[in-house]
């Protein structure tokens, strides 16, 4: 096993549970505060996730502490034969179908401080989820939120590991953070803030900013 893969595998051990849940709760509160200020049309805005509106993504984020084993079993059974992406898109739309901005905001309040997460996942996933989806929601709206650097490092490693397991990888470049002691991969360099490299690691290089280096042209768009 190479060192890069080993680092990614042990992501969850590099940040203690209290710190990680603190990030999750603070980032959800920050997102809820931003959502609460949106006009009605803002909730209908397309997010950075193809086919998902702001309402869809917001409902998805706060579904994380609500989903049960039964929900996961039904979701899997209904989507046999579908690709992972197709299953997630369908499931998000089904979950969001009965949602309203008021109900989503109420859920953020109800589950504030919850330590639950989707079965079969670790506590890293809800942190990765809220960090990336906050950007998916806010950037198309012209709003800014800075991701905590230490949280982005852990989330980026998790995203890279998930990419390996699902067959998706950003390939042929070396990612180097300009605001943290973090670098991963091999090849021409892509340098940038950790927040932007997290977006690269989650397939969002097209919207990542402040990237420099010979490897930028090689990133999938």
Q: Pick the last residue of a domain from 118, 141, 164.
A: 141
The CATH number assigned to the domain holding 157 equals: 3.30.1050.20
Rounded to whole angstroms, how far apart are CA atoms 80 and 152?
Answer: 33
The pTM assigned to this predicted structure is 0.84
pLDDT reported for residue 219: 92
Taking residues 151-176, what's their average pLDDT?
A: 81
**102-109 contacts at long range (C-beta below 8 A, 24 or more positions apart):** 104/35, 104/55, 104/58, 104/59, 104/62, 105/32, 105/35, 105/36, 107/59, 107/62, 107/66, 108/28, 108/29, 108/31, 108/32, 108/35, 108/62, 109/32
Task: For residue 49, give both structure tokens.
Answer: 């996730």
- Pair (52, 79) in one structural domain: yes
Query: Is the distance from CB of 152 to CB of 198 less than 8 angstroms?
Result: yes
Taking residues 10-22, what's their average pLDDT?
A: 77
pLDDT reading at 20 higher than 60: yes
pLDDT reported for residue 13: 43
pLDDT tens column, 28-69: 999 999 999 999 999 999 999 988 999 999 999 999 998 876
- Pair (136, 172) in one structural domain: no
- Pair (25, 47) in one structural domain: yes
> pLDDT category, 73, cuts 50, 70, 90?
low
- For 79, the 3-state DSSP assignment is coil
- Pair (205, 122) in one structural domain: no
- Pair (154, 135) in one structural domain: no
pLDDT reported for residue 1: 34
- Pair (137, 162) in one structural domain: no
Q: Pick the last residue of a domain from 119, 141, 163.
A: 141
- Pair (130, 160) in one structural domain: no
> pLDDT category, 7, cuts 50, 70, 90?
very low
Query: Per the structure, how many domains does the chain have?
Result: 2
- Pair (124, 206) in one structural domain: no
pLDDT reported for residue 91: 67
pLDDT reported for residue 4: 38
pLDDT tens column, 186-209: 999 999 999 999 999 999 999 999
Q: Pick the last residue of a domain from 111, 141, 171.
A: 141
- Pair (121, 199) in one structural domain: no
- Pair (137, 41) in one structural domain: yes
pLDDT tens column, 78-135: 656 655 555 566 666 676 778 899 999 999 999 999 999 888 789 999 999 999 999 9
pLDDT reading at 72 higher than 60: yes
The CATH number assigned to the domain holding 86 equals: 1.20.120.450
pLDDT reading at 139 higher than 80: yes
- Pair (169, 89) in one structural domain: no
**Residue 44 domain boundaries:** 9-141
- Pair (25, 128) in one structural domain: yes
> pLDDT category, 77, cuts 50, 70, 90?
low
């Amino acid at each position: 096993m190479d060192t890069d893969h080993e680092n990614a595998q042990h992501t969850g051990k590099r940040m203690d549970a209290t710190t990680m849940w603190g990030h999750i709760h603070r980032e959800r509160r920050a997102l809820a505060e931003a959502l609460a200020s949106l006009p009605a049309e803002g909730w209908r805005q397309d997010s950075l996730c193809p086919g998902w509106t702001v309402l869809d993504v917001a409902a998805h984020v706060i579904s994380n502490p609500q989903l049960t084993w039964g929900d996961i079993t039904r979701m899997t059974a209904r989507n046999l034969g579908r690709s992972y992406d197709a299953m997630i898109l369908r499931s998000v739309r089904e979950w969001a179908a009965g949602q309203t901005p008021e109900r989503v905001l109420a859920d953020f309040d109800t589950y504030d401080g919850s330590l639950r997460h989707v079965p079969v996942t670790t506590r890293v996933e809800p942190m990765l989820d809220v960090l990336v989806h906050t950007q998916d929601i806010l950037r198309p709206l012209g709003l800014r939120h800075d991701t905590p650097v230490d949280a982005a490092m852990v989330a980026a490693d998790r995203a890279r590991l998930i990419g390996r397991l699902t067959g998706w990888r950003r390939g042929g470049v070396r990612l180097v953070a300009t605001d943290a002691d973090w670098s991963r991969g091999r090849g021409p360099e892509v340098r940038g803030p950790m927040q932007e490299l997290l977006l690269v690691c989650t397939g969002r290089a097209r919207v990542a900013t402040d990237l420099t280096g010979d490897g930028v042209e090689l990133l999938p768009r």
